[in-house]
Chains A and B, each alone.
Chain A
């Protein structure tokens, strides 16, 4: 099961709807797919809400039951992304008038956003499994997708266990082989790091991408995909800023920490061992994660952050438990022209199960959902000092963390010529684009009361600064996190 499969947010209001509107077809596009103009005319009388029941749609599909001439209504579904349709009517025209009517209703904004029914879900799944036109957006194993893998593919999700050994001995042998390969990779990584210490960061070899890429490839072979991706990200830091030497050195130190910890897994407390294994790239079956004890809560979808990592676009959704106060992260991936998961809307609250990866990880998979999401909520915010404490504790527990969220109440300001977020307790340097900064500034003026311009916001800590993800206004949520380039990801 993937995050996408979980179900679709059923809110008719707010940001999700505006996104859906932007992605809607035009009437001309509907006319273009019709077998003839006459078909559109035949569809028109059916494009009335009262002719339809169980009508719904999401970022991928539309569905509904149309009352026609037969005794039973016709079940109609349209995939508006991959452009396909199906209908239980006997018509030999494709698309039939029911599919066209469904599209016309959608074009006119008359199709409510709702949860995808199982029949449509399985239809979309079958389409996605076909060799061509496969859609992505599914969750994968820890440590990001392996080299060369298509996100969402079975091999990606099952990691190194895709051979499915049939008996216990085979399974154990396979696992032992994987462990041995990973250990070899970690030893080699450490040896490589020591070489860097010997030759120094001024070594011209560091400026060559091949130096890093060869190591990353070796780590991929050792099934340490997370470390391989980390090495590739590290390559991007070389020469990227005036103090890149310090940044690269810190990252090399943390790689060493993981490599050393990874070689001592059997002697570690189990939770820490799981966390180290996850950071190294040890892959866990989705089924195993979903088989764990769920955390049931009212999950507030606090922020979204898209980043391009090599040839893959990665989406992180940050959720916070209303009762537990614990953070969780859902990941989805998309290669070129594939789609990222859009099933959860920032600013909504969803009553659902989350299943965490081993080691009390932030990373989780979404499980059962108990109700339609509440369309809007105001999150609990903390001061900047309290947020720093939360972040510091998380990083102390797992020094290799690269991101951690916080919801704070603060205002943008300028300190020593740099943009910061500030409140009465302290300040944090702010990173990000001018659009997000401008909207935050304007929102903080709009939210001003009693002369104070404090506004609720969710931020994402990274070792290189704090990034704004969301502004929480009293009446709506502004999703300002970095967004994947539309030219790269597919148009779902």
Chain B
């Protein structure tokens, strides 16, 4: 049964969809509106309803796709509150990505150094950080500070960036690096000068005192030692014979680079 003559291509298309749902065994193809599509279908010699239907569908589908037009302009979103801080540079963002991928123990320090340096996080890294720290109240709070009004604005517009935790971090926890466990016999190295630091660790590697099980605490030590020792430690241990020492040299080098890029005193 025909549905009568359609007045325009769009309503004709809807009629075609309805007819196609039922199939031409149960419903005849609709009659096209007068115009190029009707001419095209008439020109095609088609023996049955199904092939006539296919001709109509292909003509209208092609015409609809080619008639790709823009919708009405939309109003611009309201801007977030202004933030006068400068973005930290692209090299620092690249280092942040390396930190996250290879030495995440340094991430807290990266963010805190950005905040203390009066900088803010560039857009792409900010979105990644908001996604990354949805469930950690302290890191989330730091990200919000580093992102400024833009972070709040983004979360308002993209709900999937919102926090998944309702916990509230203390101001002290947000402002300070978390403590990392270091064995009592090594705690003096946290504040040691470069010479003492390097000599003590070199002794440990040479004597076999420091082995794979010590990796975690030594990583903590390198992540919290005085920045002034990093260059020396990196240079010394990058020529060591021990894989663990080489890895720690890599950590020292990355932390030194990170702090230098962010303008912290090293």
B130: A residues at CB distance < 8 A = 438
Set of chain A residues within 8 Å of B55, measured between Cβ atoms = 256
Considering the chains assembled together, what is the distance between the CA atoms of A199 and B54 in angstroms? 13
Which A residues from 412 to 461 make CB contacts under 8 A with B?
Answer: 412-415, 420, 422-429, 434-435, 437-439, 441-443, 445-446, 448, 451-453, 461
Report the nearest A residue to B66, measured CB to CB. Answer: A396
Does A193 interact with chain B (Cβ within 8 Å)?
Answer: yes
Q: Which residues of A contact B61 (CB under 8 A)?
A: 249-251, 253-254, 257, 399
Q: Are B124 and A245 in contact (CB under 8 A)?
A: no
- Complexed CA–CA distance, A388 and B77 (Å): 23
Residues of B123-166 whose CB lies within 8 A of A: 123-124, 126-128, 130-131, 150, 153-154, 157-158, 160-161
- B33 close to A (CB within 8 Å): no
Interface size class on chain B is 35 or more
Interchain CB contact under 8 A, A199 and B123: no
Asked whether any CB of chain B lies closer than 8 Å to the CB of A18, the reply is yes
Q: Is the CB of B71 within 8 A of A420?
A: yes
A268 at the interface (CB under 8 A from B): no
Chain B proximity mask over A198-214: 1 for CB below 8 Å, otherwise 0:
11111100000000000
Question: Which of the listed residues B23, B247, B249 has the most CB atoms from chain A within 10 Å of its own CB?
Answer: B23
Query: Does B195 sit within 8 A of A, measured CB to CB?
Result: no
The answer to the question of A53 belonging to the interface, with a C-beta cut-off of 8 Å to chain B, is no
Closest to A108 in B: B253
| Docked CA distance A446–B243 (Å) | 43
Does A273 count as interface, using CB distance less than 8 angstroms?
no
Residues on B with C-beta less than 8 A from A252 are 54, 57
Known A-B contacts A27-B250, A41-B241, A392-B69; A253 and B57 likewise in contact (beta carbons under 8 Å): yes
B239 within 8 Å of A (CB atoms) = yes
Give the Cβ gap from A203 to chain B, nearest Cβ, in Å: 7
CB pair A443–B124 under 8 Å, yes or no, is yes
Q: Is the CB of A256 within 8 A of B58?
A: yes
Known: A434-B160, A445-B80. A26 touches B65 (CB 8 A): no
Which residues of B are found within 8 Å of A28, using beta-carbon distances? 243-244, 246-247
Query: A3-11, A30-38, A169-177: which one contacts chain B?
Result: A30-38
| B63-77 CB contacts (< 8 Å) to partner A | 64-77
Bound Cα distance A429, B72 (Å): 11
In the complex, what residues of B have CB within 8 A of residue A364's CB? none
The stretch among B97-105, B169-177, B182-190, B196-204 that forms the contact with chain A is B97-105
A303 and B101 CA atoms in complex are apart in Å by 25
Say whether chain B's binding surface is mostly helix, strand, loop, or mixed.
helix
Q: Are A475 and B21 also in contact (CB < 8 A) when A250-B61, A385-B70 are? A: no
What B residues does A425 contact at CB under 8 A? 70, 73
CB contact between B60 and one of A44, A253, A429, A463 (< 8 Å): that residue: A253
Residue of B whose beta carbon sits closest to that of A41: B241
From residue A472, how far is it (CB to closest CB) to chain B in Å? Answer: 13
- Classify chain A's interface size: 35 or more
Q: Is the CB of B97 within 8 A of A22?
A: yes
- Of A21, A245, A249, A426, the contact of B70 (CB 8 Å cutoff): A426
B53 within 8 A of A: yes
Most chain B CB atoms below 10 A, which of A17, A28, A203:
A28
User: Are A435 and B87 in touch, CB under 8 angstroms?
Assistant: no
- Contact of B243 with A426 in the complex, beta carbons under 8 Å: no
A210 shortest CB reach to chain B, Å: 20
- Asked whether, in the complex, the Cβ of B74 is within 8 Å of the Cβ of A200, the reply is no
Residue of A nearest to B122 (CB): A446
Q: Closest CB of chain A to B52's CB: distance in Å?
A: 9
Indicate whether A476 reaches chain B with its CB closer than 8 angstroms.
yes
Decide if A412 touches B77 in the complex (CB within 8 Å). Answer: yes
Name the contact of B65 in the complex, choosing from A31, A104, A249, A463 (C-beta under 8 A).
A463
Contacts of B124 in A (CB 8 A): 439, 442-443, 478
Check B246–A31 contact: CB distance below 8 A.
yes
A40 within 8 A of B: yes
Min Cβ gap B23→A in Å is 3
By the criterion CB–CB under 8 Å, are A40 and B243 in contact? yes
The answer for the CA separation of A253 and B131 in the assembled complex, in Å, is: 42
Q: Could you say which of A18, A38, A194, A415 contacts B72, with CB atoms under 8 Å apart?
A: A415
User: Do the beta carbons of A441 and B154 come within 8 Å of each other?
Assistant: yes
A384 within 8 A of B: yes
> Bound complex: CA of A442 vs CA of B64, how far in Å?
34
User: If the complex has contacts A413-B76, A427-B74, are A250 and B64 also in contact, measured as CB distance less than 8 A?
Assistant: yes
CA distance A451 to B82 in the complex (A): 11
Residues on B with C-beta less than 8 A from A27 are: 238, 243, 246-247, 249-250
- The reply on A71 being an interface residue by CB < 8 A is no
Q: Please state if B158 and A453 are interface contacts (CB–CB under 8 Å).
A: no
Contact A194–B51 (Cβ < 8 Å):
yes
Q: Does A283 contact B (CB under 8 A)?
A: no
In the bound complex, do residue B243 and residue A197 qualify as a contact, i.e. CB atoms below 8 Å apart?
no
Q: Indicate if the CB atoms of A395 and B66 lie closer than 8 Å.
A: yes
Check B128–A435 contact: CB distance below 8 A: yes
Please give, as numbers and ranges, the residues of chain B lying within 8 Å of A107 by CB-CB distance: 250
A45 to B239, CA, bound (A): 8
Taking the complex as formed, is A411 at the interface, i.e. its CB lies under 8 A from any CB of chain B? yes
Identify which of B66, B74, B249 contacts A420 (C-beta below 8 A): B74
**B62 interface neighbour in A45, A253, A427, A434, Cβ under 8 Å:** A253
Instruction: Tell whether, in the assembled complex, residue B70 and residue A388 are in contact, meaning their CB atoms are under 8 Å apart.
Output: yes
Q: How far, in whole Å, are A260 and B46 apart by their CA atoms in the complex?
A: 12
Smallest CB separation, A440 vs chain B (Å): 9
Decide: B127 and A438 in contact? CB cutoff 8 A: yes
Chain B: which residue is nearest A454 at the CB level?
B76
Question: A275 in the interface, Cβ–Cβ < 8 Å?
Answer: no
Do the beta carbons of A446 and B97 come within 8 Å of each other?
no
B70 and A427 contact, CB distance less than 8 A: yes
Determine if A194 and B26 form an interchain contact, defined as CB atoms under 8 angstroms apart.
Answer: no
B11 CB, nearest partner CB in chain A, Å: 13
- Least Cβ distance of A114 to chain B in Å? 19
**Which one of A428, A442, A451 lies within 8 Å of B123 (CB-CB)?**
A442
A302 interfacial contact with B, CB 8 Å = no
16 A-B pairs whose Cβ atoms sit less than 8 Å apart in the complex: A17-B94, A18-B94, A26-B247, A197-B51, A197-B53, A200-B24, A202-B22, A245-B21, A256-B57, A399-B66, A425-B73, A426-B69, A427-B70, A446-B123, A448-B79, A461-B68
**B contacts, CB < 8 Å to A:** 13, 16-17, 20-26, 48-51, 53-55, 57-62, 64-77, 79-80, 87, 90, 94, 97-98, 101-102, 122-124, 126-128, 130-131, 150, 153-154, 157-158, 160-161, 238-244, 246-247, 249-250, 253
- Name A residues whose Cβ lies closer than 8 Å to a Cβ of B: 17-18, 21-22, 26-28, 30-32, 37-38, 40-41, 44-45, 104, 107-108, 190, 193-195, 197-203, 245-246, 249-254, 256-257, 260, 384-385, 388, 391-392, 395-396, 399, 411-415, 420, 422-429, 434-435, 437-439, 441-443, 445-446, 448, 451-453, 461, 463, 475-476, 478
